[in-house]
Chains A and B, each alone.
Chain A
Amino acid sequence: MTIVQNLGQKSESGIQLPAPQAINGGEAVAYAMGQIDPEVVAAYPITPQTFIIEKFSEYVADGTVNSEYINVESEHAAMSACVGATAAGGRSQTATSGPGLALMYEMLWVASGMRLPIVMHLCSRSFSAPLNILCDHSDVMGMRESSWPMLIGASPQEAYDQAVVMPTIAENKSVLLPVANVLDGFTVTHSVERVEVLPDEVVKEFAGEYEPDIWALQPGSTATFGTLDANDFYFEHKRQQVEAMKNSLEVVRTQLNAFGEISGRPMNLVEEYLLDDAEVALVVLGSSEGMVRAAIDQARKDGIKVGMLRIRLFRPFPVQDVRKALEGIGAVGVLDRAIAFGTPGNGLMQDLATSTRTMPDRPLLMDFVYGLGGRATPKQLFRQAIDQVVTMNESRVEPDEPAYLGLK
Chain B
Amino acid sequence: MDKRLPIEVRWHGRGGQGVVTASRILASAALKGGYYLQSLPDFGAERSGAPIAAYTRISETPPIDRGPVYEPDAVIVLDASLIGQVDVETGLVDDGTIIVNTANPDSPALRRLKLKPGQQLWTVDASKIAIELIKRNVPNTPILGVFARSVPVLDIDTMSQAIDELMSETFPPNIVEANLKALRLGHDQAQEIQAIEVEVSANA
Contact = CB atoms under 8 A, between A and B. Distances in A.
A190 B40 CA distance: 6
A192 B64 contact: no
A20 interface: yes
A16 interface: no
Nearest to A134: B43
A86 to B, nearest CB: 33
Contacts of B123: none
Interface in B11-63: 23-24, 27-28, 30-31, 35-41, 43, 45, 62-63
Nearest to B68: A376
A287 B40 CA distance: 14
Contacts of B65: 290-291, 294, 379
A194 B24 contact: no
B31 A20 contact: yes
A188 interface: yes
A190 B39 CA distance: 8
Given A22-B28, A22-B31, A378-B70, A191 B40 contact: yes
Given A22-B27, A194-B31, A187 B63 contact: no
Given A22-B37, A155-B62, A186-B43, A192 B67 contact: no
B91 to A, nearest CB: 12
B3 interface: no
A387 interface: no
A191 B39 CA distance: 6
Most A C-beta atoms less than 10 A away, residue of B31, B35, B62, B63: B31
A55 B108 CA distance: 44
Contacts of B35: 194
Contact of B36 (A134, A194, A377): A194
B38 A193 contact: yes
Given A22-B28, A287-B66, A291-B65, A190 B37 contact: no
B27 A192 contact: yes
A194 B37 contact: yes
Interface in B138-189: none
B124 to A, nearest CB: 25
A376 B28 CA distance: 26
Contact of A188 (B27, B41, B64, B66): B66
Contacts of A290: 63-66
Contacts of B63: 191, 193, 290
B73 to A, nearest CB: 18
Nearest to A185: B43
Nearest to A371: B67
A192 B43 contact: no
Contacts of B45: 133
Contacts of A374: 43
A376 B70 CA distance: 11
B40 A192 contact: yes
A91 interface: no
A192 B39 contact: yes
Contacts of B27: 22, 192-193
Interface string A152-189: 00010100000000000000000000000000101110
Interface core residue of A192, A193, A379 (most chain B CB under 10 Å) = A192
Contacts of A184: 66
A193 B37 contact: yes
Interface in A1-33: 20-22
Given A22-B31, A378-B70, A191 B43 contact: no
Nearest to A376: B67
Contacts of B66: 155, 184, 187-188, 191, 287, 290-291
A148 to B, nearest CB: 25
Contacts of A291: 64-67
A21 B43 CA distance: 22
A293 interface: yes
B38 to A, nearest CB: 5
Contacts of B64: 290-291, 293-294
Nearest to A293: B64
A378 B27 CA distance: 22
A222 B39 CA distance: 52
A186 B35 CA distance: 22
A187 B67 CA distance: 7
Interface in A106-132: none
A179 to B, nearest CB: 24
A21 B27 CA distance: 11
18 contacts: A22-B28, A187-B67, A188-B66, A190-B40, A191-B63, A192-B40, A193-B36, A194-B35, A194-B36, A194-B37, A290-B65, A290-B66, A291-B65, A291-B66, A294-B64, A376-B67, A377-B67, A379-B65
Given A193-B37, A194-B37, A374-B43, 6 more contacts: A192-B24, A192-B40, A193-B62, A194-B31, A290-B63, A294-B64
Interface of A: 20-22, 133-134, 155, 157, 184, 186-188, 190-194, 287, 290-291, 293-294, 374, 376-379
Interface of B: 23-24, 27-28, 30-31, 35-41, 43, 45, 62-68, 70
